[in-house]
Amino acid sequence: MNFKIFGAAVFVLATLLFNPGWAEEAPEVDRTSTGGAQTLEDIMARQAQMEVDETFRSENLGDPANAAPISDELGTLGGRSDADAWRGIRYNELDPSTQVRGPAVDVLIQDGGMSWYQLREGPVIAYGGGAILGFVLLLVVFYFVRGKIRIDGGPSGTKIERFKAIERFGHWLLAGSFVALALTGLITLMGRSFLIPVIGLEAFSTLAVGAKWIHNNISWAFMLGLVLTFCMWVVHNIPNKLDWQWLKAGGGIFTKSHPSAKKFNAGQKIVFWTVMILGFSVSLSGLSLLFPFQMPMFADTFGFMNSILGTNFPTALAPHEEMQLSNIWHSVVAFLMMVAIIAHIYIGTVGMEGAYDAMGNGQVDLEWARQHHDLWVDEVQAKQGKGESS
């Protein structure tokens, strides 16, 4: 199921990037005044992100028949002008060679930059930012409608150890680094639109340099936290029949019941797998951005998807296209994660009485544990019983 969702997301993203859905078709242009070459209207239409029929350029690549006789003054120039040659390069119809070596240097022209820029400054900020604000609002409403989930009958006063120090260390490494990455990532993505008008260019420049430095370096802590928590908790997050019962009861959130659960309930397993899968994907696309042109991934991913789903995604991508796709994918996945984590932070703090202690000092109230993780309490007590009697 996750694969299908992933496939659908890549499909929507790629469709938007390769054929922006909002692109209007440009009106017909009369090019007689330029002898068929592009006009100011063409340039303005392209800048307005309209869909321009490019055949008047892509097919205008010079013709040997146009060449002046070799005995004429300009005869040695042949039938292809400089402009024709550049158009040939632009539309991949000429095979230029270069002596320069290095990543991406053999690409002279790549024209995806504008669509990438528009997508990043437009829908990514609008939908991503909108999703975060909308979700926070939803949680505020939820809080006022449902209220805090309390411990029925109040706390017992007896404590039981829920997370060991190493588990809490792994969690806070992951959580602390994620929050820092989310904030610095948002500054990088949205600062130009929202901060420059408020704090000015110079202050933003300093902030942006700092944000980039923090973002690039803290990413390693996040990846380490991800690996640590995965290793420690994966066994407790394997789905089983009990999860289905828990989900059918809606986690007891609205009925105020307490469906049975082991160490992690189905809701937490969803958080765990969301964090692991999206965290892995955001790390991979982040690495690809951190080492420009060294880790292209989309051509291979598209090839793999084409072979499985029978789709027809482009598998010959210019190095710059790889970077553009990584960048947009990185932001989209990060926004999905932020939305999921906001819900997680809500339930771990103001949303549920007694939950924070689990990650605070590791000790939770026994009554809280019985109500939310009854089977886990049984397991722990059975083990302790064994420990005492042996």
Residues that bind ligand HEM (CB under 6 A): 162, 171, 174-175, 178-179, 229, 264, 268, 271-272, 275, 341, 344-345, 348-349, 355-356, 358-359
Report the nearest approach of ligand HEM to the CB of residue 171 (Å).
5
Report the nearest approach of ligand HEM to the CB of residue 213 (Å).
21
Q: 324 or 371, CB closer to ligand HEM? A: 371
Token pair recorded at residue 175: 């959580």
Side-chain-side CA neighbours of residue 278 (13 Å): 22
Q: 62 or 170, CB closer to ligand HEM? A: 170
Report the nearest approach of ligand HEM to the CB of residue 292 (Å).
26
Q: Check if the beta carbon of residue 336 is closer than 8 Å to that of residue 12.
A: no
Give me the phi and psi of 51, to 5 degrees please. -85, 110
CA distance 17 to 345: 33
CA distance 135 to 22: 26
Q: 179 or 336, CB closer to ligand HEM? A: 179
CA distance 237 to 226: 14
Q: 289 or 345, CB closer to ligand HEM? A: 345
Q: 94 or 221, CB closer to ligand HEM? A: 221
Token pair recorded at residue 230: 């995965």
CA 15 to each of CA 86, 119, 122, 249: distance values in angstroms, whole numbers, following the listed order: 28, 12, 16, 38
Which amino acid, 212? Answer: K
CA distance 227 to 202: 38
Query: Tokens 């939770």 map to which residue?
Result: 364
Q: 271 or 328, CB closer to ligand HEM? A: 271
Report the nearest approach of ligand HEM to the CB of residue 249 (Å).
17
Report the nearest approach of ligand HEM to the CB of residue 94 (Å).
48
Q: 123 or 362, CB closer to ligand HEM? A: 362
3-state SS, residue 298:
helix
Q: Where are the alpha helices (DSSP H) in the chain?
A: 2-18, 40-47, 55-58, 82-90, 113-119, 125-146, 165-194, 196-199, 201-233, 241-248, 266-290, 298-309, 319-348, 357-360, 366-372, 374-389
Q: 121 or 374, CB closer to ligand HEM? A: 374
Helix or strand holding residue 365 (H, E): strand 363-365
Q: 169 or 356, CB closer to ligand HEM? A: 356
Q: Check if the beta carbon of residue 272 is closer than 8 Å to that of residue 237.
A: yes
Q: 298 or 368, CB closer to ligand HEM? A: 368
Report the nearest approach of ligand HEM to the CB of residue 334 (Å).
11
Report the nearest approach of ligand HEM to the CB of residue 12 (Å).
24
CB atoms within 10 A of CB 282: 26
CA distance 196 to 388: 64
Give me the phi and psi of 363, to 5 degrees please. -105, 125
Report the nearest approach of ligand HEM to the CB of residue 10 (Å).
22
Report the nearest approach of ligand HEM to the CB of residue 376 (Å).
9
- Paired residues of 348 in beta bridges: none
Report the nearest approach of ligand HEM to the CB of residue 29 (Å).
51
